[in-house]
Structures are given as structure tokens and as C-alpha cells.
Amino acid sequence: MIQIGPYALDTSEPLTLAALIGGTAFLLILLLLLLGLRAANRSARMAEPLAQQMVQLGARVQGLSDGQHQLAGGLNHVSEAQAAAQSHMLQLMEKRLAEVAGQMTENLQGSARRTAQSLGDLQQRLQAIDRAQDNITKLSGDVLSLQDILSNKQTRGAFGEIQLTDIVTKALPSDSYTLQATLSNGRRADCLIHLPNPPGPIAIDSKFPLEAYEALRRATSEGELAAAARYLRASVRKHIKDISEKYILDGETADGALMFLPSEAVYAELHANFPEVVRDGFAARVWIVSPTTCMATLNTMRAILKDARMREQAGAIRRELGLLFGDVERLGARVENLDRHFTQAAKDVSEIRISADKAGRRARRLDNFDFEELAPETAPALPLPDAKAAERG
């Protein structure tokens, strides 16, 4: 006997035993199913968070995939932008390189032109220097020839005369002087200026005490300097005496004469270190002049000549002034006549304007008449204007 709950089974019978075994097996299967279902439910409940995590993981994986796609798109965009930037940079660099190459070429060409121009200018300057060197060489020869000329008294005198002639011809009119003029005593002056009395004609003679001046310049000791000074003093005083005796004549020339020194250096030396010689010249009425002071003196003489010629022409000027006064008087009379004519013409024009105004007023009165209101047979006749009134109008 098997007690199953409230039921008691008898196991001694085969059917009963089989039924019992089958029911037991069914119960076991059922129990296993229940246990399986419970286990499945438990597993399902346990797997639900996992499934949610899997879903979340899938969403994250999808997000990562989308992010990867976006990243890939961004990388492609960045790559394209970088490629475009590189291409633009290459184009810009090529353009800049072309510009730099062009500027370098232009600068090199400009430098080459400037260099060529500078070389040309340098060559011209070298040619000018060569010409100047040739001129210096020629001038050196001229100086040597000038020294040769000045070493001879006759040629030195001719040099002074030529320089004096050049100054006189530039400063005075040609009819106011005579070169190499012969005086009544038979002496010949280098130049005679024809000034009016007073002071009268003034003679100019050229003197050049070169040997004494060169000796003074070459002196190295006190003794040589004193000897050269005595030599220069004596030479100049001799020239002053000769000019005073030869070219100052009473009644024929002025009471003074000029000694022309064709050297500014000699003139400056005399006035700086030999004032007593200059005073001796003043005492003898011989005035020493250099090329510069001679030009100033001749300009003063030119003013004197101009004043004298103006005095000579004073009579002619007075006659011309009288004729000019007569012309001015006649011009005044003719201007008065013309003014009278203009006054009469203005008066005539005014009277013509008055007559025109009167005629205009009469025409307007005639235009204002109403001829239709008047009968033809009763229309009064208009008075004819009097001839004298018309003449007055």
C-alpha cells in the first residue's frame, strides 16, 4: 500500500502499479515542467536586465557606428579642405614665386641698366678727367710759357698793356679813350682817358715790378728779405717818378695819372707791407691801381663822361622839352574840342529820346480810340497837328 495524500494505492495489483508509476512519472514531468517554467521565468527575469544592457550596448554600438561614420565624413571633409588649402597654398606660392622671380628679373635688369649707366657715366667722367689732364698739361705748358713771357721785361710790359686794354675796352665807350696816345712831349702813354675839364685827360701806364716781388717771395733770411724789400721799394718809386714826369703835363692832361699793376698779389703786397710807397704815389699824384680797382675807377670815369655828355646835350634837351610842351598844349585844345563835340552829341541824343517818348504816347492814344462806337458821318475829325508843334515834338 502506498499512501499518497488522502488516497491509498494497493501496489499488489499490476494495473494499479502501472497507473501509479505513470501518475508518478506524470507528476514528475509536471513538476519538472513547473520547475523549468520557474527556472525559465527566473532566467527571463535575470536575462531582462542583460537584454536591456544588450539593447543599450547595441544603441551605443550604433551610436559609435554613427559617430564613426560622422568621423569618417569629417575626416573626408577635413582631408578635402586640407587638399583644397594645400592646392590654394601651392597656387599662391607659385604666384608669389612668379612675382618674386619677375621682381628679381626686373631688379636684376634695373641693376644691370644702372650698372651700365654708371659705367657709362664713369667712362664719361674718366674721359672728362683725361681731357682735364690734357688741359692741365696744356695749362702747365701755358704757365711755363707765361713764366717765359714774364721773365722778359718787354714781353711783361706787353702783357700788362694787353690786360689794361681789355679792361678799358670793357668799361668805357670806344670814343672816350685812346690807346698808345702820344703826348706833346713825345711820350707815349698806354692809355689816355678823355675826361672833360676838370680834371682833364688822365693817362694810364702799365708797370710790373715782377723781379723785386719774386725776390721778396723767395727770401728765406732776414738779410734777403730786407734786400728784396729795398729792391721792391726802389722799383715802385722809380715807376712813380717816371709816370709823374712823363704823363702829367700842365694844360694838357689832368694833374694826376694812374699806374696800372697787372697783378693783384703785387698790389696787395704794396698796400699791406709798403704803405709809405703808396703815400709817395699820392704825394706825386700817381694813383696805383690793380685790375679790380682799375675797373672800379673806370666805371667812375664812365659816370663822369655820361654826366658831361648830358650837360653838352642840355640845350637840345631844352629845345625838345619846348616842342613837347607845344605838343601837349595842342593835345589839350583838341581834347577840349572833342569834349564839346561829345557834349553836343549827348544833348542831341537826349532830345531824340524825348521826341521818341512823345511819339510813343501819341501812338498809344490813337490805339485806345474806339472807332466802332462813332458813326461815320458824326465822327469828329481829328485835329491835324500844327507844324510848329510837330517840330517841337
Mean of pLDDT values over 201-224: 84
- Owner of C-alpha cell 693783384: 264
- Owner of C-alpha cell 734786400: 227
- In angstroms, the CA 232 to CA 265 distance is 13
251 φψ region: left (φ > 0), alpha (ψ -120 to 50), beta (else):
left
Dig out the grid coordinates for 296 from the structure: 672800379
Mean of pLDDT values over 280-305: 88
Q: Do 288 and 278 touch, CB atoms closer than 8 A?
A: yes
pLDDT tens-digit map of 16-69? 556 667 677 777 787 777 787 777 777 767 767 777 777 787 778 787 777 777
Q: Is the pLDDT assigned to residue 137 strictly greater than 80?
A: no
Of 228-237, 298-307, 315-324, the least confident: 315-324
- Owner of C-alpha cell 491835324: 384
Question: Amino acid letter at 204?
Answer: I
Distances (CA, A) of 259 to 63, 124, 192, 207, 284: 126, 47, 12, 7, 11
pTM of the model: 0.43
Q: Tell me the backbone φ, ψ of residue 258, rounded to 5 degrees.
A: -115, 135
Q: How many residues does the chain have?
A: 393
The secondary structure of residue 374, as a DSSP letter, is: S
- In angstroms, the CA 62 to CA 302 distance is 124
Mean of pLDDT values over 195-224: 84
pLDDT at 18: 63
- Owner of C-alpha cell 683725361: 130
SS3 180: strand
Distances (CA, A) of 272 to 237, 296, 304: 16, 20, 30
Q: Half-sphere exposure of residue 185, counting CA atoms within 13 Å on the CB side?
A: 12
pLDDT above 90 coverage of the chain, percent:
1
pLDDT at 390: 43
pLDDT at 146: 45
Angle between helices 291-312 and 264-273 (to 10 degrees): 100
What residues form DSSP beta bridges with 8? 3
Dig out the grid coordinates for 373 from the structure: 462806337
Sequence-separated (6 or more) residues with CB below 8 Å from residue 94 = none
pLDDT at 141: 53
Mean of pLDDT values over 238-247: 90
- In angstroms, the CA 244 to CA 174 distance is 26
- In angstroms, the CA 123 to CA 323 distance is 70
Q: Which residue has the higher pLDDT, 371 or 103?
A: 103
What residues form DSSP beta bridges with 179? 191
- In angstroms, the CA 180 to CA 189 distance is 5
22 φψ region: left (φ > 0), alpha (ψ -120 to 50), beta (else):
alpha
pLDDT at 153: 57
Dig out the grid coordinates for 118 from the structure: 654708371
Q: Do 288 and 281 touch, CB atoms closer than 8 A?
A: yes
Dihedral sign, Cα of residue 236, residue 240, residue 241, residue 242: positive
Q: Tell me the backbone φ, ψ of residue 370, rounded to 5 degrees.
A: -105, 95
pLDDT at 53: 76
- Owner of C-alpha cell 550596448: 57
pLDDT tens-digit map of 4-19? 555 454 545 555 556 6
